[in-house]
Amino acid sequence: MRKPKGKLQTNLEYAAVRGIVGAIGLFPLAASIKIGESFAKIPYKFLKRLRFIGRRNLELALPELSGQEHERILRGVFASFGRQLGFISHLDRITPEKLGEVIEVEGLKYCEKARAAGRGTIIFTAHFGGWELSHSIIAALNYPMNIVVRRIDNPKIENLVGNLRSRFGSRTIDKKESAKAMLRVLQKNEFLGILVDLNAQEHEGVFVDFFGVPASTTMGVAKLALRTKSVVLPGFPVWQKEKQRYVLKICEPIELPDTGNAEENIKILTQRMTAKVEKFVRQYPDQWLWVHKRWHTQPKGAKVVY
């Protein structure tokens, strides 16, 4: 169990985060985006461990690319995070109308059809592009949006981030206490946003193919979708440089398998969702968060990846 932070550490961390976000947000949005991208060069330079993880993941997933190309993608990952930070620095004062101008939505018809089906809707995504922003535009368009989050262990920073996440009406669900809450959300025919691209512990996941490498992936989303017969929509917030905005691409629903075998259904649906993640990452490789240990959990007997 992690030791609680002291008051001094809590306040210093909060002051640092508040100061960085506040400073970046002093400028017009377009300038804040550029500043965020530039600011991201600092963690890229000093966080060597994250660079190592990113390079290792790229070697596994995209071995056909050169080391130079891997490095270009990795720099882009940090720039992508900084860009999102630029947007976040303005969230506390952007109106719903202005939000619609800076985050475009494609495929909204799938949301409307899903709501009309009356079975609840799961919108899954990854740590990709503007993932912290995508739920906001859905909520701003008057869809009842709920997102599963991991609470931050600094209560002041958690309160700051929580207020920004709920700015346009999204409600948060603690990942540690999420099962019953998620079920209630879907039973009320609401929308549930969830990330499906992190490594799962062996007892929590199922191994599926991700870039040709076995990846332990949470099976909770598939279990929930199959139990409730909810509509499962992919939704990926892509940064489009030519438009200088995010475009949330909502795709047609993922078909729910019905093989007659519950475990097989879970694996098939998890694989289908993971394949959609891979499709977007391959198309926009510098917008996915390569710097986490995606392949940390391996099948028994396999070599250690990191």
pLDDT averaged per 10 residues, the chain (length 306): 79 96 96 96 96 98 98 98 97 93 96 97 98 96 96 95 96 90 96 98 95 97 97 98 96 98 98 98 98 96 90
- With respect to residue 2, please indicate whether it lies within any of the assigned structural domains: no
What CATH number has the domain bearing residue 137? 3.40.1130
pLDDT on residue 60: 97
Predicted local distance difference test score (pLDDT) of residue 6: 87
- Count of structural domains, the chain: 1
Domain-embedded: residue 294: no
Is residue 72 domain-resident?
Answer: yes
Range of the domain at 105: 7-287
Q: Is residue 306 part of a domain?
A: no
Q: Check the CA dihedral 287-221-107-174 and report its sign.
A: negative
Residue 178 lies in a domain: yes
Nearest of 127, 130, 156, 166 to residue 19 by alpha carbon = 156
User: Which pLDDT belongs to residue 1?
Assistant: 53
At residue 294, the pLDDT reads 98
Indicate whether 169 belongs to any domain: yes
Residue 15 lies in a domain: yes
Residue 17 falls within a domain, yes or no?
yes
